[in-house]
Amino acid sequence: MTVSPFQTSANGSNAVSKGVEAYAQHTFRSGFGFQANFTYNKTSTTDIALDGKVIGRSPLVGSAKTQANVSVFYENDRFLARASYNRRGTMVGGIVSGLNIYSEPYDQVDLNASYDLMKNLTVTGSVLNLTKSEQRQHLGDDTKARFYDNTYAGRVLYLGLTYKF
């Protein structure tokens, strides 16, 4: 038996997405502070139709059940430092070869800092993906054996100098 992979665009209908988001932010007098948010999203499945014919059912594409972001920071008149943790739960993608693409949960840590050297001159630096996390995708949500894709950008460093005139 020969199995040929296929991929197509189709429209879903009547999907429902319900959820809640909680957000908190506070800066203490000392200059330390935090920001945090959490999103919970529950979606229904929907018929997938191609040329008016139902060809399957799918969870709402592009949605993750949970997502969270937490940042802690210190700030004063000349200096700012921030560390951020971001996490997205399993995310549903489009259909390939009759199966949805599922992205595994993903998290990463980012660092940012800036310092005013003079009134008009600021040096900035960032480290994105400090944890060297990679995104992995699989076909179907019943096994990780049907590996589909992975994305790895590595750790990214930025250093900048800004002059305001």
**CB neighbour list of residue 94: distance below 8 Å, 6 or more residues apart:** 7, 9, 61, 100, 101
Q: Is residue 9 part of a domain?
A: no
Whether 2 is in a domain gets the answer no
Q: Which residue has the tokens 């998290």?
A: 107
* Listed residue (115, 110, 112) closest to 126, CA to CA: 112
Residue 69 lies in a domain: yes
Q: Determine, yes or no, domain membership for 1.
A: no
pLDDT in tens, the chain (165 residues): 555 555 555 555 667 788 999 999 999 999 999 999 999 998 887 777 777 777 777 777 888 999 999 999 999 999 999 999 999 999 988 888 878 899 999 999 999 999 999 999 999 999 999 999 999 999 988 888 999 999 998 999 999 999 998
Q: What is the DSSP letter of 7?
A: B
Q: Classify residue 102: in a domain, yes or no.
A: yes
Judge whether 60 lies within some domain.
yes
Residue-range definition of the domain harbouring residue 88: 14-163
Cβ pair 136, 150 in contact under 8 A: yes
- Tell me the C-alpha distance between 143 and 68, whole Å: 25
Residue 6 belongs to some domain of the structure: no
Which 3 state secondary structure label does DSSP give 165? coil
| Residue 22 to residue 70: CA distance in whole angstroms | 12
- CA atoms lying within 13 Å on the CB side of residue 90: 14
pLDDT of residue 128: 97
Model pLDDT, residue 4: 52
Q: What is the pTM of this model?
A: 0.79
Number of domains making up the chain: 1
Contact in structure between 58 and 92 (CB atoms under 8 Å)? yes
Question: What integer pLDDT is reported at residue 83 of this predicted model?
Answer: 98
Which residues, 6 or more positions from 136, have their beta carbon under 8 angstroms from its beta carbon? Answer: 103, 104, 147, 149, 150
Q: For residue 13, what pLDDT is reported?
A: 61
Question: What pLDDT shows up at residue 23?
Answer: 96
Helices (H) and strands (E) in the chain, counts: 0, 14
